[in-house]
């Protein structure tokens, strides 16, 4: 029982010390903390601004002078070696580039010549006729003109456009404006079909093949006139 006596005597003392710390020391510490926070908030920004101003007034001009000196030094000392290196590199590389370009150009011309010779030797018989070739080139050019005209006038077309007119000139079919590209598509399909059929019938029925080739030109011309009327009426 004597061994447990000191612990019982210490418990009230510990409680008294804790109560004293809570009542006396803790409020004082809290007050000093608030004072320290206020002082730090007020004086540290001032000190920081003062140090920044001092650094800009004293160190700023010196740093700018050293920067100017460094730039001049770099331009003078590094400029000459850089120019010499560029001149040497250009003198070494430029002839190689010229030779490689000349060789590539000559090889391309040789390949183009071989390809043209093969085409001349193996092209279909109907394409050897100049009249047929002119008809097909004309039809293809008219089809490209229809595509180009519609592409240029597409932004000015309204959302709905008339694609077909009756005998009196009144529209009997109205569709979205993106459907206007069906006209050159139809023309291209007719051109390809007539070319294939005309080439197949060229040796047996040359007159019929010429009619097909000429019909392609007529169809493309009619499509071009249709597009011109469509754009002029809508506009």
In a domain, 64, yes or no: yes
In a domain, 202, yes or no: yes
In a domain, 222, yes or no: yes
Task: State whether 136 and 47 are in the same domain.
Answer: no
In a domain, 115, yes or no: no
Cα separation of the two ends of the chain: 117
In a domain, 104, yes or no: no
- Enclosing domain of residue 27: 1-94
Residue-level pLDDT at 10? 47
In a domain, 113, yes or no: no
In a domain, 73, yes or no: yes
Task: State whether 79 and 14 are in the same domain.
Answer: yes
Q: Which tokens go with 180?
A: 């206007």
> How deeply is 213 buried, as exposed, middle or buried, from its count of CB atoms within 10 A (0-12, 13-18, 19+)?
buried
Out of 55, 71, 94, pick the residue that ends a domain.
94
pTM given for the model: 0.51
Task: State whether 134 and 208 are in the same domain.
Answer: yes
Residues of the chain with pLDDT under 50: 1-8, 10
Out of 78, 94, 110, pick the residue that ends a domain.
94
Residue-level pLDDT at 4? 46
Task: State whether 175 and 216 are in the same domain.
Answer: yes
Task: State whether 68 and 139 are in the same domain.
Answer: no
Task: State whether 9 and 68 are in the same domain.
Answer: yes
The rounded Cα 36 to chain-centroid distance in angstroms is 58
Pairing of β 171-176 and β 160-165 = antiparallel
Task: State whether 51 and 147 are in the same domain.
Answer: no
Task: State whether 169 and 229 are in the same domain.
Answer: yes
Number of domains in the chain: 2
In a domain, 109, yes or no: no
The rounded Cα 130 to chain-centroid distance in angstroms is 44
């Amino acid at each position: 029982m004597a061994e447990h006596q000191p612990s019982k005597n210490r418990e009230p003392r510990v409680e008294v010390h804790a109560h004293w710390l809570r009542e006396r020391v803790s409020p004082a510490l809290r007050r000093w903390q608030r004072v320290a926070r206020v002082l730090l908030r007020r004086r540290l920004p001032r000190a920081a601004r003062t140090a920044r101003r001092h650094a800009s007034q004293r160190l700023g001009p010196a740093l700018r002078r050293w920067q100017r000196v460094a730039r001049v030094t770099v331009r003078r000392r590094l400029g000459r070696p850089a120019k010499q290196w560029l001149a040497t590199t250009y003198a070494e590389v430029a002839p190689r580039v010229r030779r490689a370009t000349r060789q590539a150009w000559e090889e391309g011309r040789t390949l183009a010549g071989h390809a043209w010779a093969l085409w001349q030797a193996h092209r279909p018989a109907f394409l050897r006729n100049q009249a047929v070739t002119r008809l097909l080139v004309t039809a293809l050019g008219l089809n490209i003109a229809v595509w180009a005209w519609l592409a240029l006038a597409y932004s000015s077309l309204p959302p709905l456009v008339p694609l077909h007119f009756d005998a009196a000139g009144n529209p009997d079919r109205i569709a979205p404006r993106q459907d206007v590209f069906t006209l050159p598509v139809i023309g291209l399909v007719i051109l390809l079909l007539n070319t294939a059929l005309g080439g197949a019938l060229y040796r047996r029925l040359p007159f019929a093949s010429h009619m097909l080739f000429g019909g392609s030109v007529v169809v493309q011309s009619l499509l071009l006139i249709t597009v011109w009327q469509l754009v002029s009426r809508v506009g």
